[in-house]
Structure 1
Amino acid sequence: MKPLFQTLVAAMQDALQPGEQFTLGFSAEQSQFVRFNHAKVRQAGEVSQASAQLRLIREGRQAEQQVTLSGDTPLDRQRLISALEQLRQTLPLLAVDPYLQLDQSAWHSLSEQAQPLPGLDQVLTLLDREAGDLDLVGIYAAGPICRGFASSFGAFGWHQANSFNFDWSLFHGNGQAVKANYAGQCWDADDFSARLRQAREQLGFLGRPAVTIEPGSYRAYLAPAAMDEIAGMLCWGGFSAQALATGNSALQRLYNGDAQLHPMVSFSEQVSGSLSPAFSDEGSPRLDVPLIQQGKALQRLVSARSAAEFELLANGADSYESPCALSLAPGNLPSEQILERLGTGLYISNLWYLNYSDLPAARMTGLTRFATFWVKNGEIQGPVSTMRFDDSLYSLLGSQLEDLTREREMILSTSTYGQRSTGSSHLPGALVKGLTLTL
């Protein structure tokens, strides 16, 4: 894919007229998808696709168009030239963009992470050995993902990374399920087997009599997958410069200095070493950004457009100013001591259907769903029926936070809307002294 991208960049440079500038984004993947039911392959296929995002700029005006690419270089070059002509006709009809700000530096970035991926036969053999007798439903996706960016100012970025993502659920005969995931860039058969065995063990607990608890505040452990749902909510404008400037961020009070989280809480945008490219869709180099340090707000994510509108310094954020590789620093709780330290309370594997019940207070509501257990004296007693929680981040990761696990889980986005996502999070589990259940 890289030679195709380089050819298209050269074509744009040759076709450019005096006074014009361009940026060219590139996305591609070669993915293998497998769907499972009852731990058997039910559907398998491959997706190979590529597209280019062409933006033309002249005299303060900009217009862009996405072009689907075929892989046939002469044909794709012609498609892009045709798109350029259409943009030229469109530009005079547009108003001058007051917040247009372009990175005019000739930066260069090259990253090719070519770790070998497992053969499908290896995955199927392990799956049959560890879970062949179970009702496993899931999706396995693997393959290289490519991102590119170039501009008429001389900037050039290329990012290619191999990754795999296996997202599955184990269903009990009573209709309850355990949800699990194994994803990354370096396949380890032992880690995969351990993840399957852990899910099988939790499935056994689902067969015990259900435990009924009343609404109230309960001591709880939130596994990394549950923490990922909470972190995902924070990505909805929580760290966005635009949202903070307009009063639409859930972390408004934190960034205003009117509230703080537990000193153990340190969030950062950790692009280095992640699956995401080291450049934004707007054409700026990305650096690691400390967002929250020891419970206090530090930096925010600033796109080029927000930098122009609110007189800030851009730091490589994408146009939507959401973290692409959110990382939460680990704590001191060893994973093998989770149940012992929890004592009596809730073990929550996943949270579901989250939304804000009070945005300014960073208050979230959602459901427990997969594999939530009642624990007594450090031992799992049985599953707890689905319940609704409603609590503030300033409580969960503030006054009520007791510890975070030493071990963290790398969670890759399972989104395949249009294309496989490069988003990820690196999160520990959290032990909290009180989680409020309302229903």
Structure 2
Amino acid sequence: MSIYTEQDAKAILDKVIKLSKADECTAQLGGSIDGNVRFARNAVSTSGIVSDANLVVQVAFGKRVGTATINEFDDASLEKVVRRAEDLAKLAPENPEFMPAIDKQTYKPSATFSESTAAITPDFRAKVAADSIAPCKEEKLVAAGFLEDGQSFVAFANSKGNFGYQKSTNFNFTCTVRTEDGSGSGWVGHNAKDASSFKADEDIRIAMKKASESVEAKALEPGKYTVILEPAAVAGLVGFMMFFFDARSADEGRSFLSKKGGGNKLGEQVYDPRVNLITDPWHAEAPVLPWDEDGLPRERMAIIDKGKVVNLDYSRFWAQKQGKKANATPGNLIMSGGTKSTGELVKGTQKGVLVTRTWYIRMVDPQTVLLTGLTRDGTFYIENGEIKYPIKNFRFNESPVIMLNNIDELGKPVRVQGDESSTVMMLPPMRLRDFTFTSLSDAV
């Protein structure tokens, strides 16, 4: 059994806390049942279900910390993992940034569990693969994709009486479709709260259309262009940028949010006034756990308000040192936008480039968040509100900070998951001015 009820999970954690002889003890029990199906060259290649559960015990003697993990939960095993953690703590050097276990908290549950997603069967996964492959075969296209779904739980407790328990589900589908000769490529992704909203035979048509229409791509000179980034492309850039909202790195001069002479840019205008970004664990379309990895309660919190940075991520240690309030690490990112779809943004564009998604993004300069990466799986030239022809992929050198100061128009936000993190995001398609493409890429 890998999905424990709240009662059963608490019984195990209570035993662990009681067994510990350390100054303090924190234990986390988690488990999951994850299913998947992978297909390539129009045939299923792998499929499976993985069920697992594990217990992590962390103890402290003063500022000496030890951690041990186990996946057996009988009484003898529980005592063994506690003693192992204690032995490691006694051998460990003192941690100068040690923070004691948090006090008892109150958590407001969030709707992270979907019955339809938890009820997914091998037949469901097989149908997703079949509904993706069959239309491609008919059109002489080649599909390769991956569906990953699962249900899980997490429970934690500490020697100060804090306890939390919640169940979650996840659902993520991606598919790349190519022409038989490999000259055209299209992509579609679907990250869903509820599996009942997903229809593979509809989503696959998006990737098929892009694959068919991206053959015989023309070369366009590198330079600065008006671009329309689809939400998946936005996620790669904005998701990367959010790694630098840590208050400590900003205060220590290691971030684009650092001020010359010391301090950070909290409260300053950094982006276009149309940029509004919040985190909200109870968001109807993108709910997440109501606590972070330290057990701090998450709250609905503005991060960027009308282009101003209004909150940074203060860890418990750094908040104490700076005399600030610690805040929970965001579990999701919600960006406001307009009402238009990507297609409607295209219709309003005189000249520009449509980017399906970004890929292989890497850091160039952390002080400006200058990133480099490639466009992929469908890049098109727009003229007079229409897609005129496919173009070869580009390498870009662009900072999402500059990008979010060159906004022409924002579309309607949709749910996506970033390539660089598992953070769930609601992001709009964007039409942007002066996006920098530095060279061509022959890859499709």
Compute the TM-score of the two structures, normalised by the length of structure 2: 0.87
Unaligned ranges ≥5, structure 1: 318-322, 416-420
SS at match of 2:202: helix
The CA distance in 1 between the partners of 2:88 and 2:320, in whole Å, is 24
The CA distance in 2 between the partners of 1:403 and 1:188, in whole Å, is 32
Unaligned ranges ≥5, structure 2: 440-444
**2:37 match:** 34
Residue 160, structure 1, aligned to residue 167, structure 2: yes
The CA distance in 2 between the partners of 1:414 and 1:160, in whole Å, is 24
1:262 partner letter: D
Given the alignment, which residue of 5, 12, 22 partners 1:8?
Answer: 12
SS at match of 1:105: coil
**2:99 match:** 101
Q: Is the 8 A contact 1:205 1:380 kept in 2?
A: no
**1:44 match:** 47
Count the aligned residue pairs.
419
Cα RMSD (Å) of the superposition?
2.4
2:116 partner letter: P
**1:255 match:** 265
Query: Once the two structures are superposed, what CA deviation does each residue of 1:200-232 show, in whole Å capped at 9, x if it has no partner?
Result: 22122113x212111111111000000010022
Residues 203 and 188 of structure 1: CA distance in aligned 2, closer, same or farther (over 3 Å): farther
Deviation at 1:55, TM superposition (A): 0.8
Query: Once the two structures are superposed, what CA deviation does each residue of 1:332-389 show, in whole Å capped at 9, x if it has no partner?
Result: 4344412111232100011112123222123222111221111222222222212111
Query: Once the two structures are superposed, what CA deviation does each residue of 1:16-67 show, in whole Å capped at 9, x if it has no partner?
Result: 33x6211112332101111111343221111011222211023233222232
The CA distance in 1 between the partners of 2:46 and 2:130, in whole Å, is 16
1:91 partner letter: A
Q: Is the 8 A contact 1:99 1:308 kept in 2?
A: no
Q: Is the 8 A contact 1:149 1:281 kept in 2?
A: no
Given the alignment, which residue of 383, 408, 415 partners 1:410?
Answer: 415
**1:63 match:** 66
Deviation at 1:147, TM superposition (A): 2.0
SS at match of 2:186: strand
SS at match of 1:107: coil
Q: Is the 8 A contact 2:270 2:401 kept in 1?
A: yes
Residue 298, structure 1, aligned to residue 298, structure 2: no
1:412 partner letter: Q
Residues 82 and 140 of structure 1: CA distance in aligned 2, closer, same or farther (over 3 Å): same
Query: Once the two structures are superposed, what CA deviation does each residue of 1:72-122 show, in whole Å capped at 9, x if it has no partner?
Result: x41xx4333212112322333334433322354222435562421244434
Identity in percent: 21
Q: Is the 8 A contact 2:37 2:129 kept in 1?
A: no
Say which is worse superposed, 215-224 or 182-191, in terms of deviation: 182-191
Residues 314 and 257 of structure 1: CA distance in aligned 2, closer, same or farther (over 3 Å): closer
Residues 190 and 161 of structure 1: CA distance in aligned 2, closer, same or farther (over 3 Å): closer
Say which is worse superposed, 386-395 or 49-58, in terms of deviation: 386-395
The CA distance in 2 between the partners of 1:144 and 1:220, in whole Å, is 38
Q: Is the 8 A contact 1:25 1:281 kept in 2?
A: no
Residue 115, structure 1, aligned to residue 115, structure 2: yes
The CA distance in 2 between the partners of 1:106 and 1:388, in whole Å, is 50
Given the alignment, which residue of 261, 279, 289 partners 2:291?
Answer: 279
Deviation at 1:422, TM superposition (A): 5.8
Given the alignment, which residue of 247, 250, 255 partners 1:241?
Answer: 247
**2:279 match:** 269
SS at match of 2:404: helix
Residues 128 and 182 of structure 1: CA distance in aligned 2, closer, same or farther (over 3 Å): same
Alignment of 1:158-237 (within 5 A): 158-175=165-182, 176-188=184-196, 192-207=200-215, 209-236=216-243
Q: Is the 8 A contact 1:324 1:422 kept in 2?
A: no
2:17 partner letter: Q
